[in-house]
Structures are given as C-alpha cells and as structure tokens.
A and B are shown apart, each in its own frame.
Chain A
Amino acid sequence: MNPEIIERLRAIVGPEFVADKDYDLIAYARAWSYEGPRLPEAIVVPGSAEEVSEIMRLAGRTGTPVTVRAGGTTTTGMALPRQGGIVLDLNRMDRIYGIDEDAMAVSMQSGVTVYRLIKYIERRGFKIPWLPEFGGGVTIGGWTAFNGVGAGGSVYGRVGDFIVGLQVVLPTGEIVRTGSASFKGAKQFARYLGTGPDLTGLYLNSLGVSGVITEVTMRVYPIPEALGWVSFGFETPEEAQEGIKKLVRANIAYGITCVDDEMFKTIRLPPPAPWVVQFFAEGWKPEVDFRVRKAREIIAGAGFGKELPQNTPRILWGGARGTSLRSKPPRRYMCVGCFHPLDATAAVFNVYNAVGRKYNLRRGMLWWTCQTYANAFPVYVYDELADGPELAARAARECREGWGAVGAVPDYPGPDPDCTEDIAPEYLGLWKRIKEALDPYHIMHRGQSPVIER
C-alpha cells in the first residue's frame, strides 16, 4: 500500500492501531471459513465512528478497497479482502453505552461481543432474544451485518427483527443514524418511522458492502421465569419435517431445533434417534408447562416420532462448535447453510447427507426455525492438511446447488462471491443502483459481489 496512505491512517487512529507488516497481513488472511488465505495490505483498528468516517473519506479519495472485520466468525469468508486494501478491524469499538430499561433497548458500539453484552444485560434482569448460541468472538456488529439467526427464532425471528436502529458510516464518510434517532433530539426507541422506507434494512445481511455499522441499538427482553424443553426422536427426515410442521402450526414454541445422528457421532455422543427435534418454550412457569405439554400431545398424536428422555443432550450451535473443534486428530469444519420453507425440510436434509456421503465427510446437521421458515446450517468436518480448503468449498457448492433445486435460498453467498446466477435481474438492477448511490467510489468489500459492482 502506498506509504502515504499508511501514514495518513496512522494519523487518524494512532500509529499503534495500523498494522502492515507481513506477519500482520498473514494474521488477517484467514477467518473462520473454508476460504483460502486472502491478504490485506493494511489493518486499521479504529476506536470511534469519527475515526471510521475519516478512514472512509481517505479510502474513497484514494480508491482503496475497505473490508470490514469484527469477530471474523461468519464462516463465510466475508471478513477476508478479495482485492487487498484495508481491513477495518472493529474490535476496539467495544463500549456499551447503556440500557434503556423502559424502552427495553441496549445501545453499544458494534465491536461489543455478544458474550459481553449478555453479561451486561443479565445483571440488569434482561436477556437477548435467543439462547446464547454462538461461536467465537461474535460481535453485535457482525451479527447485524450477517442478520444472524438462532434458537429462539420461532418467536423472535432473526437479528434484524430485534434491531431498533443503527449508526452507520457510509462509504463516503457521512455518519448516519437509522431508526427513531434519525430525528433530531429523539431517542433510539423505534425502528420503523412514518417518514420513508426502513433504511436499517440496507445494513442487515449487507456483509459490509453498504458501509460500516458503528453502533447498534437492540431490543432486549426481561429474563423469563422459566425455560422448558422436550426432545423428540424421528426415524426419517420426512417424519421429522411433518413433526416440525405440526409444532410450528401450533404456535407454542420459543425455538425449534433439529440435529441428526451424524452430529451426535461427530461430537462423540451416542445418537438417541436418527433425527432429534428439540422444542423450547419460555415464559411464565404455567405457560411453559402448558406449551411443553401441548408439544408432547401433538407428537404423541402424530402417529410417528417419540419423546426422548429429558436428559437427552441439547445440541445447539455453540455447543456443537465447542465439542467438534476439540476433535482428535485436529480437524477443521466448514458450514454451509440455506433458508427454506418448512415443506422443503426433508429434501434439504437429504441433499446435505448425499453430499456428505459422496465426499465421505464427517458431518452434522444444525437446523432451527425462524418464525415460519427454517435455516439449515450443517457442518462438514475436513482435514485441511490432507485435503486443502478446496474439498470443503466443493462440497459447499454442491450442497447449495442441490438446495436450490428444492426451493431453498442461500443464507450467505459461500464460495462463489456473487451468488447471483439465480437472482432475478430486476432485483439485481435495483440493488446495483442502490449500491452505486451508497458506494460511488466502489471501495466496500470490492470483489465480493461482482454483479452489483461497477
């Protein structure tokens, strides 16, 4: 990178927060994904939105690509630069501004980890909408840019469904607030306003291409009196799908998750059934008891599936991560995911298994509902020393193709950055015009979504 740009970056954030030695670039060349190494030219670690703004203006003036990175845990490789330039590491922006207990909203800089946020609000009697299932140093900003999903999604949906508003720095350097705080003097208490479209949505699932999320205000909820659960075993994907559909239709779940026997084997636990559906309910104790009882009645009356013992391990994303990564011999694992309607559940499960069997990959299905649709998020385990990252990328691509054929849509682009061959051209045209307006200098995550890039 031009030494002049480096010097100006140092002047903006302080010399200790700009790194451009070869070993620095290598440290940022991988993230939690099966993407091979992609080197930046410099790493900048800003401490405030104002610093981010100055960096963006400099990048715009000099045509320098900017890739935003927080925890680096999207498993998609979106934290990796595709055309060099600056990696903007947001981890130093980790202040929690405070909680508004009446509005039930907490505001913080985007580099706050989910773990730290949970500790902070728990002490004040609040919880994040989901169960704490996440891996690594996930940050609120990354969660928002990815529009994450997890157990608890039956009620609360995805991250975007409980975001109140954002502060973002545009690729051109302007600092903008979305939500009610876009009005002068108004608090950040409401997402949707009567004055135009919801601009917060430009940043959900944006994966960095729309600008930099620097502050997040998120809805939180009082810790419920009770959390209850019950697990059901099913013999086939088709039975699991029908059982899940009945539970969703009853509208009683806080979360519904599904794992398979392959996941149990991968983390070295005896599988209690080929397909294990976990039903969660939260709320007041009598309410939870009622919902769990109702779930039992529904599956008992279905004519297939069986209730599993209460001590059946509950395997969620974070737990699976923790255990499978400790595998010996050491192995990496990669994730590939899709969103799908409930009636495609069995087909999605079958595609994942067929690809796993084809490449003889240890694997495990992770799956949960998002309100009335679902997110499948299976893992494949591979040996990067023997196989390189290419095998995992190939498996991911085949999974995505198979899922597309049964009506699923990708939950992130995966190894093919544009992921646009199946998107309607009118939609792409609109998105391209928006992108052009947001990022006229074409600096954000350059190369990540070529079809919408100039």
Chain B
Amino acid sequence: MAFERLEKYREIIWNDQACGVCQRGPWNPYRPFGPTSDRLCPEYEKFRTITHSAQGRIQAARWLLEGKLPVSDDFVKVTYDCLLCGACSTVGCVVDQAHVPMFRDLRADLVAMGKGPIEPFRKTGSLIRREGNRFGRPKEERAKWAEGMDISPKADLVYFAGCVASYRAPEVARSTATVLIRAGVPFAILGAEEWCCGQPLLSSGQVEAFASVAEHNVRAFRNAGARRVVTACGCCYHTLKFDYPPITGDTGFEVLHITQILADLIGNGGLRPKQSFDHRVAYQDPCHLARLGSRITAEPRAILKSVPGIELVEMEGNGKDTQCCGRFPVELPDLSLYTGINRIRDARAAGADTLVTACSFCHWNLTRAGGNVKESLKVMDITQILAHSLGCGPELPPLEERRR
C-alpha cells in the first residue's frame, strides 16, 4: 500500500470539518482576551494560502488516499514546509491531537516511496548517520564543551547535551553542567557515544535512521548506568521521552528536563539564586515542552521568579498556546527566520529586553532571528541566567555583543 502510515488516519481525514481554525484560530472563542496570539499556524502566516495549513494538508491526504493526487516534487516540498509545532492541534477540532503524528507519517510514507525527504533534511540525515550529529562535526569533538569539567562517564543521572549545545552553543551545555555541579548533583555524560536524539530524522520521515540512533542512544544510556536522563533541550527531551519507547520498548530510565530538576532544587532550598539579573524577561515556552506531550510551563517560570531582579513578563501566546521559534533553521531557513522574527517582536511587544528559553533549538533560532531585526534583545538559555545568579556562570557580556 502506497500510504500505509497515512491510512491509519482515514476516518479522521474524511471527517475533517475544513473549518479553518488551524489557520488563524480562534484558539478559544470564549477566551478571546487571554494571552493568546493573533497568529496560530506559522506556516500559514508566512505563505497565506490554505495549502500551507493543516486543513490543506489533510484535504491533500484524502486525495492521496483516493489515488487522485499524484506525488509531484512540488507537493513533496510543500509537505515539508510544516514546522510540526502542533499549534493546529490546540484548537479543538475533530483531528484532535493527531495533526503532528499524521504529518510525520505522511512524510514517512513519502520516504518509503522514495519521494522524500527534501534535500536539506536528506543532508541533515546523512550527517547524523555519518557523524552522529546534525552538523557533521567530528564525533570525538562532541564533549569538547566539557573540557576541564571532570565529568564522570557513569552515573545514575546522565546529562544529554544534544547537538546544538554540544557543537553550536557550548555555553548552554557548560551552564547546564555548572548548575548541576553547584547543586551537588552527580551526573555523567556520554561523550562521543552521545548521538543526535534523532528528531530531525523522525520529523522528516526518515524513520529507519531514527530507529537506529534511538537504539544506539538507549544502549549508551544503559551502558552509562542511567536511571534518569536529563536534557536542557526541549526537542531532545520530547524525543527521548515520547518517541524512543515506541521504537526501543521500555528504556529503563526516566527522562527529565533540566527545569524540572532545577525547580525542585530551588523549591527545597538546594539552590539559592543570589546575584541579581535586572531585566524584563519574557519566557519562550518551547512547543516540545509546553504543548507536544508535556506541560512543563510552571517550572521554568518558578526558576526565573527565584532570580533576584527579574521582572517576568508574558508574551501573547504562551503555555500550550505558545508560538513556535522556527525550529528548522538549516532545513527550512526562510520559514524559520520569519517565525523567529515574529517571536522576537512578541517579546518586544511584551516589554521584554531579554528572551529566555529552555530549548537549544529555540535558543538557536531566536538568536538568529534577533540578529535580523533592529530591536536589540538578549536571547538566553534559562541555565545561563541561573548560573549567573548562582555566581558560577561567566560574566554576561553587554547587550550589543550578544547580538549575532
């Protein structure tokens, strides 16, 4: 069968109401004045045709299943324009929570047919297969960020840094490790045995390659003696927690996000932020922490509120109604930048001078977007602020230098 995975959604696809809520909302007609954004689907916001929305994709899926829509290269490209942020799944339509898995399965069918993925995802996939990371950097440099930190290779708790923090934003990996050390929490890292979590593979339908990295990482965690795995990246967290078990079976370890551990430590007095951070801070809820499977929204805010000097402001579109950061800066650079810039503007509209997140991809995209708009805005990871407040982080550079 050509669309074996998509077939699972036949009943949903046929009964999709084509009501348009997946394009512009409203999020909830009885809560029109809450902190929800005017925008809903980032892809629709950029392209402005129904083709570029869940509704358009679902209608196309029906025609595919009926054998009436040929799979052209253009269609494949459009299929990959979605960021899989899941905003469409919040509106309460007949599709319920099935949007993201359905669109991922459609991509997996296209890959199985030899029609997908699109070239940028294929390239990322081959880099991951070759070097275990999305940047194609040498495996042995993965834990370079930890040089001089004397971190054990075995412990109950294993810190999974992820590709972005390992290679592109080592300051985030260092600040994460630093606060754990300051809290006296023993932990290990996998070093070169840590491979990409596989999210770019899963998102692009490269499911066999995804299974391969999932199985490798689970083996590596087990070899390190992990009973708990912690990560500071929302995407990695979601992948390890929700996407690995269907592939690997019970992993035997619990998956945590760093904000869960740190909020606990702050709550029970194990960490006491002291140094002031005198800024108006907006928190970007990562889709993968706040909407897609988890609701980790209180913990990051508890951490930020514990830091002296912070004035926490809320952007329109937060919690499960968050707006995506852009997610795929390499594979979908234009859409990613457009989406990130919208989020920078949301932060400025809320009066923030600092935008904080708890996901390496949000950090990456928003930093990139911030460098493309006039408004100056610091983009930071939450662990950087906490490390600063605990007096164990590097001196924060002035605002201008942080813009890239």
Contact = CB atoms under 8 A, between A and B. Distances in A.
Nearest to A323: B92
A32 B93 CA distance: 12
B48 A115 contact: no
B92 A326 contact: yes
A6 to B, nearest CB: 15
Contact of B32 (A118, A322, A326): A118
A257 to B, nearest CB: 14
Nearest to B32: A118
A116 interface: yes
Interface string B20-51: 11011111111011000010000000011111
Interface string B222-235: 00000000000000
Among B38, B92, B94, max chain A CB count under 10 A is at B94
Contacts of B78: 23
B20 A32 contact: yes
Contacts of B25: 113, 115, 137
A259 interface: no
Contact of A325 (B28, B59, B93): B93
A19 to B, nearest CB: 5
Interface string A61-79: 0000000000111000000
A137 B51 contact: no
Contacts, number: 151
Contacts of A176: none
A322 B24 contact: no
Interface string A14-25: 001101011110
B341 to A, nearest CB: 17
Contacts of A91: 23-24, 48
Given A27-B51, A116-B38, A118-B33, A326 B75 contact: no
Interface stretch (A178-186, A304-312, A330-338): A330-338
Contacts of B170: none
Interface stretch (A128-136, A158-166, A411-419): A128-136
Interface stretch (B10-18, B262-270, B356-364, B392-400): B10-18
B29 A134 contact: yes
B49 A22 contact: no
A105 B21 CA distance: 27
Given A32-B18, A72-B18, A113-B24, A318 B49 contact: no
Contacts of A329: 11, 15
A266 to B, nearest CB: 13
Contact of A29 (B17, B59, B95): B59
Interface string A399-415: 00000000000000000
B49 A136 contact: no
Given A325-B19, A327-B94, A27 B30 contact: no
Given A22-B70, A31-B18, A73-B20, A45 B49 contact: yes
Given A21-B75, A32-B17, A32-B18, A26 B94 contact: no
A323 to B, nearest CB: 8
Contacts of A332: 15-17, 94
Contacts of A89: 48-50
Interface in B39-77: 47-51, 53, 55-56, 59-60, 63, 69-70, 72, 74-75
A27 B26 contact: no
A45 to B, nearest CB: 5
Given A21-B74, A23-B69, A73-B20, A319 B30 contact: yes
Contacts of A256: none
Contacts of A32: 17-20
Contacts of A43: 49-50
A385 B14 contact: yes
A79 to B, nearest CB: 10
B50 to A, nearest CB: 4
B96 interface: yes
A121 B76 CA distance: 42
A91 B92 CA distance: 21
A26 B60 contact: yes
Nearest to A134: B29
A91 B25 CA distance: 12
Interface string B169-192: 000000000000000000000000
A287 interface: no
B24 A22 contact: no
A122 interface: yes
A34 to B, nearest CB: 10
Contacts of A72: 18-20, 50
Contacts of A362: none
A216 B72 CA distance: 41
Given A24-B49, A330-B16, 16 more contacts: A21-B72, A23-B78, A26-B63, A45-B49, A89-B50, A91-B48, A115-B27, A135-B19, A137-B20, A137-B26, A326-B94, A328-B96, A383-B15, A384-B14, A384-B15, A385-B11
13 contacts: A21-B74, A22-B75, A72-B20, A72-B50, A122-B32, A132-B29, A137-B21, A137-B25, A321-B19, A323-B92, A325-B93, A328-B96, A330-B16
What 5 A-B pairs are tightest by C-beta distance, nearest first? A27-B56, A318-B29, A115-B26, A385-B14, A137-B24
Interface of B: 10-12, 14-21, 23-30, 32-33, 38, 47-51, 53, 55-56, 59-60, 63, 69-70, 72, 74-75, 78, 92-96
